[in-house]
Amino acid sequence: MADNARAKKLADLIREVVAEKLQRGIKDPRLGTHVTITDTRVTGDLREATVFYTVYGDDEDRASAAAGLESAKGILRSAVGRAAGTKFTPTLAFVADALPENARTIEDLLDKARASDAQVREASSGATFAGDADPYKKPGEDEAAE
């Protein structure tokens, strides 16, 4: 079992090598410049690596990029093996990162919260207190009232 520092170092190396190879080494038009490697995670035994990526474009671009990454998996693994110099090169699994969708969902929720706050602010702009403005009794007022 490898330590976490070694796994993190290997994950960083894999991310850099895969990104560099996608940018300069692979001539697949499906991958182009709109694929971004966002994160890489390696298992504790250094046997498997999960590479997270995002694609700038629509669903068709995402599907073609996924197919391109699957077809280039062997070339990318060979490049990682040369750069890492380890006894065993980890297998690569490519997973589309859900970060853009999550960010869009959070933005939508924040917009709804802002609209709700604006409605409450508008409704309370002309409101007055239900009772007296100062509902607390002060010492000495009871004696003066009697």
Given a cut of 60, is residue 33 above it in pLDDT? yes
What are the C-alpha distances in Å from 58 to residues 34, 64, 69, 96, 124? 11, 10, 17, 13, 43
Cβ neighbours around 78 below 10 Å, total:
12
Specify the DSSP element, H or E, that contains 39: strand 35-42
Mean pLDDT on 88-94: 91
Give residue 121's pLDDT band: very low, low, confident or very high (50, 70, 90): confident
Given a cut of 80, is residue 104 above it in pLDDT? yes
Q: Rounded to the nearest 5 degrees, what angle is found at the Cα of 45, between the Cα atoms of 13 and 35?
A: 35
What is the spatial distance between Cα 113 and Cα 132, in angstroms, rounded to a whole number? 31
**Contact in structure between 49 and 84 (CB atoms under 8 Å):** no
Given a cut of 90, is residue 110 above it in pLDDT? yes
**Contact in structure between 35 and 22 (CB atoms under 8 Å):** yes
Q: Is the pTM of this model over 0.85?
A: no
- pLDDT number for residue 93: 92
Give residue 36's pLDDT band: very low, low, confident or very high (50, 70, 90): confident
User: Taking the domain 1-97, which CATH number applies?
Assistant: 3.30.300.20
Nearest-CA neighbor of 92 among 78, 113, 82, 103? 78
